[in-house]
């Protein structure tokens, strides 16, 4: 298994380490629910160094990304992040991604670990594209206190940073990139640092009394409660953006790989839709459960877990379009657990959009 630069640092904090897409990563430290609550109430620290990062310099590099995604990456304004997905010829999702316009001629692209080789093969032939994943660690600090903690740790430049913005800056002499984004629904920052800065930054933040180290387990419960999809679970190469809750994001006026397939699907209008679901009690729907309506299979659970902040089971499911509106009663799994469709986000008290004055 590959190790991130933080492996030795978090082993000192009682990490239970698992194999995630070939990477040795912590699934939990003190316990998933405790870490989840700590992130919702204070701040959680996550090692996401397994993820992919690319620098795209110049027009050709930006254009190479732009033709693979359904969003406009050419006209993205400096300082803004944009969520999108990299598609195959059939319009299926190879990976979801976030791009940040760092400067007039530079995009910073963040991708997932699983499909990194495939994404690299699609992009790296183009001049100006540099895969910096092996040299870059990614540390997320997420939670309502994340901003105060970072302001006290030398991150003055993010004092006025707005949600879904990002910038290059320096920390302790290292050139880094920070975005105000995340995977939890809370105020949060994703901090991209050169490998040699990873342990100093982790140690600095984890020493703060309001910071708890968190693993993949809490990351999953936090993201599921707010309905963020996970590539490989909710998103897949045989599912399109229209089937994955991304229809409002698709820029139909531009060209991109897979567009023809998406147009055909849009015009037919019979595709399934990734839909939020919840259970009635503490039982959780699980990935792969069949969903039934009046005893007939109508869909499938793609993600499901107990939601510690809401107190019941939460998840995402592929469902026919007419069953994708909230409040429809269905059953899931071998024991026909009662569930219903829900509106997103299921957990509605997340702080991620909070505005801060200087």
Partner 1 sequence: MTPDTLRYTEEHEWIGELNGQYLVGITDFAQSQLGDITYIELPDVDRQVEAGEEIAVVESVKAASDIYAPISGKIAGINGALDANPELTNKDPLGEGWFFKMTDVDVTELDALMDVSAYRTYLETCS
Shortest Cβ 114–partner 1 spacing (Å) = 19
For 10, other C-beta atoms within 10 Å of its C-beta total 22
Please work out the total of residues on this chain that contact partner 1, with binding judged by CB under 8 A.
17
Give the residue with the Cβ less far from partner 1, 140 or 225.
225
Cβ at position 259, least distance to partner 1 in Å: 39
The rounded distance, in Å, linking the Cα atoms of 12 and 279 is: 37
Residue with tokens 């039934």: 292
Token representation of residue 184: 């939890």
What is the four-CA torsion angle of 4, 138, 308, 282, rounded to 10 degrees? -60
CB of 347 to partner 1, least distance (A): 15
Tokens 């429809």 correspond to: 328
Q: How far is the CB of 237 from partner 1 (least distance, A)?
A: 25
Distance, in Å, from the CA atom of 236 to the CA atom of 280, rounded to the nearest integer, reads 28
Given candidates 11, 105, 203, 281, which one binds partner 1 under the rule CB under 8 A?
281
Question: CA–CA distance from 69 to each of 89, 100, 161, 185, 285 (Å)?
Answer: 11, 14, 26, 24, 31
Contacts with partner 1, 294-313, as mask; x by CB under 8 A: -----------xx-x-----
The closest alpha carbon to 181, from 146, 233, 215, 220, belongs to: 146
* DSSP per-residue letters across 140-153: EEESTTHHHHHHTT
Name the residue nearer to partner 1 (CB basis): 144 or 308.
Answer: 308
One symbol per residue from 33 to 72: x for binding partner 1 (CB under 8 A), - otherwise; what is it? Answer: xx--------------------------------------
Please tell me whether residue 79 binds partner 1 under the rule CB under 8 A: no
Q: Is 28 in the site for partner 1 (CB under 8 A)?
A: yes
Tell me if 251 contacts partner 1 by CB under 8 A. no
Alpha carbons 317 and 339: distance in angstroms, whole number = 11
Closest to 91 in 3D by CA, of 272, 261, 251: 261
Quick check: 111 binds partner 1 (CB under 8 A)? no
Q: Which of positions 206-235 make contact with partner 1 (CB under 8 A)?
A: 217, 221
For the CB of residue 138, give the shortest distance to partner 1 in the complex, in Å: 24
CB of 323 to partner 1, least distance (A): 24
> Footprint of partner 1 on this chain (CB under 8 A)?
27-28, 31-34, 217, 221, 281-284, 286, 305-306, 308, 335
């Amino acid at each position: 298994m590959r190790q991130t630069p933080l492996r030795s640092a978090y082993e000192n904090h009682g990490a239970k380490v698992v194999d995630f897409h070939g990477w040795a990563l912590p699934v939990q430290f003190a316990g998933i629910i405790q870490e989840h609550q700590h992130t919702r109430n204070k701040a959680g620290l996550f090692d996401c160094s397994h993820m992919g990062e690319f620098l795209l310099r110049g027009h050709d590099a930006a254009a190479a990304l732009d033709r693979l995604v359904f969003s406009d990456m050419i006209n993205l304004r400096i300082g803004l992040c944009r969520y999108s997905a990299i598609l195959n010829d059939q319009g299926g999702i190879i990976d979801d991604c976030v791009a940040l316009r760092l400067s007039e001629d530079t995009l910073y692209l963040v991708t997932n670990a699983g499909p990194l080789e495939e994404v690299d093969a699609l992009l790296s032939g183009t001049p100006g594209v540099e895969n910096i994943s092996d040299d870059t660690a990614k540390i997320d600090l997420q939670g309502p206190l994340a901003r105060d903690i970072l302001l006290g740790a030398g991150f003055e430049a993010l004092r006025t940073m707005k949600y879904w913005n990002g910038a290059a800056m320096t920390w302790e002499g290292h050139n880094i990139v920070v975005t105000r984004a995340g995977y939890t629904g809370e105020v949060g920052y994703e901090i991209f640092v050169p490998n040699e800065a990873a342990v100093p930054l982790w140690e600095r933040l984890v020493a703060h009394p309001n910071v708890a180290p968190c693993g993949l387990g809490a990351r999953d419960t936090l993201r599921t409660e707010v309905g963020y999809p996970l590539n490989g679970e909710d998103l897949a190469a045989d599912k399109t953006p229209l089937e994955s809750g991304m229809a409002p994001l698709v820029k139909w006026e531009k060209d991109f790989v897979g567009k023809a397939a998406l147009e055909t699907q849009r015009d037919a209008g019979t595709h399934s839709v990734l839909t939020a679901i919840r259970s009635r009690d503490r039982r959780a729907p699980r990935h792969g459960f069949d969903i039934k309506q009046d005893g007939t299979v109508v869909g499938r659970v793609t993600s499901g877990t107990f939601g510690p902040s809401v107190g019941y089971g939460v998840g995402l499911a592929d469902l026919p379009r007419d069953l994708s509106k909230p409040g429809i009663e269905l059953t899931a799994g071998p024991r026909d657990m009662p569930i219903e469709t829900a509106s997103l986000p299921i957990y509605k008290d997340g702080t991620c959009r909070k505005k801060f004055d200087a």
